[in-house]
Amino acid sequence: MKKRISKNIEWPILICTILLVIIGLIALFSATQNAEYDEFKKQIMWIAISVPFIIAFVLVDYETIAKISPVFYVIMLILLVGVLFTEPINGATSWYVFSSMSFQPAEFSKIFVIIFLALIMSKMAEKGRKEISRPTRLLILCIILAIPLLLIIKQPDYGTGLAFCVAFIMMLFAAGIDKKYIITGFLLLAITLPLLYFFVLPDHAKKRIEVFLNQDLDPRGAGYNLTQSKLAIGAGELLGMGLLKGNQTQLGYLSPKTTDFIFSVIGEEMGFITTATIVIIYVILITKAIYVAKTAKDNLGSYIAIGIAGIFLFHMTENIGMTIGLLPITGVPLPFVSYGGSSLLSNLIMIAILLNISGRRQKAIFIE
């Protein structure tokens, strides 16, 4: 059994992940030299912590994980409620802090919300492909998503909330939802976006959107980080200024340089060739995740894999897009590259689940 799993595993996914982690460690090493490499050391520690989790999530059949996902879904809801009563960090109540360590439940909720949604959707698919397009069934799925989504927005963490939405849309599309719901959804989005902007978004979020639309609006205030990011990436040119030699990075103009703007650090010190390579690696990773969804042995595996692909697609697009001024800044980390224990561990677990699904398929199977 283990031999067959090893044979079927989509190894390029693991290779892409390892390459991104290595690039991230190199960037963190350079970005943290003035802080005694504190975050670099912690990232290595989190990688070591992640290894047993990766092994466990590869070896335990994903069907077994899906069966217990309702329990983890409830646990995640409890943690998401509890974190709202913690002390704010940078204006957000998103972390449980234990001494020098922190835990962000929103990151792990991505995993179990996707798996739980996939479980319910696969049960619906057993009764017929059109079952998911019934209004009552669709409402159930929306409620399952909406509860953790609203708790995450309450923190506030709009970036993670958007990642949930992208993953959910891709899962519905893969499940064959009726096109009329897709059209209706886009119409509702077009109507509600202005209302959300004027009546729901806090002032700092509105300011970020205004700066995105007019980047010269507040260059020394809300637009400062974006200005420094673009300067850093532009200064790197083709080959970069060299490790430990980036002006914006080493002189402290770029912030937060180990998380949100790690791509800018890489652009400044390693240049366009490295940043372009990173984009190519992500494209391969996401493409392979979609391929795993297409070749999964059942609907459950297909829905989980496409949901994970949606998470990675959003994070990659949003983080890189915001650092070069093509998208508003939302504080979304770059998977496997940005510093962050919760983010790294949750992303590596999702990679393990993709390997799990691919190892238990038969490559001749192709889900239409």
Task: Answer whether residue 273 is part of any domain.
Answer: yes
Q: How many CA atoms lie within 13 A of 21 on its CB side?
A: 20
Under a CB-based contact definition with an 8 Å cutoff, are residues 289 and 308 in contact? yes
Check pLDDT > 90 for residue 311.
Answer: yes
Task: Answer whether residue 7 is part of any domain.
Answer: no
Read off the pLDDT of residues 31-52 as tens digits, 9 standing for 90 and up: 998 888 999 999 999 999 999 9
Task: Answer whether residue 1 is part of any domain.
Answer: no
Task: Answer whether residue 38 is part of any domain.
Answer: yes
State the Rg of the chain over Cα.
21
Check pLDDT > 90 for residue 210.
Answer: no
Read off the pLDDT of residues 329-363 as tens digits, 9 standing for 90 and up: 888 999 999 999 999 999 999 999 999 999 988 65
Task: Answer whether residue 347 is part of any domain.
Answer: yes
How many structural domains compose the chain? 1
Task: Answer whether residue 368 is part of any domain.
Answer: no
pTM for this entry = 0.93
Q: How far apart are CA 133 and CA 173, in angstroms?
A: 11
Q: Which domain does 318 fall in, by range? A: 16-359
For range 320-331, the mean pLDDT: 90
Task: Answer whether residue 366 is part of any domain.
Answer: no
Is the model more confident about 183 or about 348?
A: 348
Confidence band (pLDDT; 50, 70, 90) for 3?
Answer: low
Task: Answer whether residue 365 is part of any domain.
Answer: no
Check pLDDT > 60 for residue 365.
Answer: no
Kindly report the average pLDDT of the chain as a whole number: 89
Is the model more confident about 182 or about 59?
A: 59
For range 158-183, the mean pLDDT: 89
Residues 6+ positions from 366 with CB-CB distance below 8 Å: 294, 295
